[in-house]
């Protein structure tokens, strides 16, 4: 998946627009985009949406409230009645938090008659200093895990920072660290790294530039907060025909010379890391 689109679960209008956005997955949000007094309404509307949705469309994830709110289990108990494809887990701090969510999902899957392990997890894993340090010390792994994503807004608040950088699209070292650690933790766990949201919904050029940077780093997708952001994200993270052709040529060259450690393709010397990169790119290519 290249894109996730956040949709406030208490907004009928935005839920309807989200379904038509073309995003690979929607995140029905029960957390930051929903006011405290609207949380019960959001739970109910998320469940209604899950039950009525065309499951041939985008995959449907639910972002629950963080563990420290005391609302996480209640969110899950309601959402799992609608059999979501996955859960977005905010403010995840290390392996223990991820394991706890996995245990709760196993119990709720059994209650609802859902195949064990079917509900996937995407973490937002850098929303506090403690989370970044835990991610760097021991990248969390889990059979349900499909990706780690990072976010700067809550981290900024936790640090007491006044901004994430000197200007939009430029990060101070603390946020560069969070972004890099998230990428490495995802790779270490064998899952996809998803880049943070671009908050200025009118600045699609800025979104484009940041998405290209994320792709260059090794990120596999990006999270959107507005339907207009989905198309540029897809253009960046969908391998181009030229990239696919090049990757196929690299794989074919190594398959033709299985004992070679280094070989030449189009006049360029390549070794095994290039083969690994080519196979990863082809795994993301449209079928």
For residues 40-57, average pLDDT: 95
Look at 99-108, 114-123, 208-217, 260-269 and tell me which has the smallest mean pLDDT: 260-269
Distance of CA 27 to the CA centre of its chain: 10
Chain segment 160-178, per-residue pLDDT in tens? 999 999 988 899 999 999 9
- The answer to whether 221 and 3 are in contact (CB under 8 A) is yes
For residues 40-68, average pLDDT: 96
Q: What's the rounded Cα separation, in Å, for the pair 248 and 186?
A: 25
CA-wise closest residue to 84 among 51, 107, 111:
51
Chain segment 61-90, per-residue pLDDT in tens? 999 999 999 999 999 999 999 999 999 999
pTM exceeds 0.85 for this model: yes
Architecture label for domain 3-237: Alpha-Beta Barrel (3.20)
Q: What is the pLDDT of residue 268?
A: 80
Domain with CATH 3.20.20.60 in the chain: 3-237
Of 273 and 211, the one with more pLDDT: 211
For residues 37-56, average pLDDT: 95
Would you place residue 135 in the very low, low, confident or very high pLDDT band (cuts 50, 70, 90)?
very high
Instruction: Give the rounded percent of residues in the chain with a pLDDT score beyond 70.
Output: 100
Look at 3-17, 40-54, 151-165, 260-274 and tell me which has the smallest mean pLDDT: 260-274
Chain segment 239-274, per-residue pLDDT in tens? 888 888 888 988 888 888 887 778 888 878 888 788
Alpha-carbon torsion 152, 221, 166, 203, what sign? negative
Which of helix, strand or coil describes residue 228?
helix
Q: What is the pLDDT of residue 250?
A: 87
Chain segment 196-206, per-residue pLDDT in tens? 999 999 999 99
- Encode 85-129 in three state secondary structure: CEEEECCCCHHHHHHHHHHHHHHHHHHHCCCCCCCEEEEECCCCH
Q: What is the pLDDT of residue 287?
A: 67
Q: What is the pLDDT of residue 108?
A: 98
């Amino acid at each position: 998946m290249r894109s996730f689109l956040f949709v406030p679960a208490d907004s009928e209008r935005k839920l309807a627009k989200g379904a038509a956005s073309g995003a690979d997955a929607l995140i029905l949000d029960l957390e930051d985009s929903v006011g405290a007094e609207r949380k019960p309404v959001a739970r109910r509307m998320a469940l209604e949406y899950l039950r009525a949705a065309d499951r041939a469309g985008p995959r449907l994830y639910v972002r629950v409230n963080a563990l420290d709110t005391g609302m996480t289990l209640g969110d899950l108990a309601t959402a799992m009645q609608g059999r979501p494809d996955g859960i977005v887990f905010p403010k995840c701090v290390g392996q223990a938090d991820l394991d706890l969510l996995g245990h709760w999902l196993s119990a709720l899957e059994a209650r609802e008659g859902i195949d064990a392990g079917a509900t996937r997890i995407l973490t937002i894993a850098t929303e506090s200093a403690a989370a970044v340090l835990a991610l760097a010390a021991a990248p969390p792994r889990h059979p349900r895990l499909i990706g780690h994503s990072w976010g700067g807004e809550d981290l900024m608040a936790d640090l007491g920072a006044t901004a994430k950088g000197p200007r939009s699209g430029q990060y101070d070292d603390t946020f560069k660290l969070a972004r890099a650690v998230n990428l490495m933790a995802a790779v270490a766990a064998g899952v996809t790294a998803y880049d943070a949201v671009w908050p200025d919904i009118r600045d699609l050029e800025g979104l484009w530039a940041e998405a290209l940077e994320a792709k260059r780093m090794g990120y596999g997708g990006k999270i959107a907060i507005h339907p207009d952001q989905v198309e540029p994200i897809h253009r960046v993270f969908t391998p181009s025909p030229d990239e696919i052709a090049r990757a196929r040529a690299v794989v074919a060259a190594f398959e033709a010379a299985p004992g070679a450690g280094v070989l030449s393709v189009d006049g360029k010397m390549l070794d095994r890391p290039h083969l690994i990169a080519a196979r990863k790119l082809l795994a993301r290519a449209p079928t």
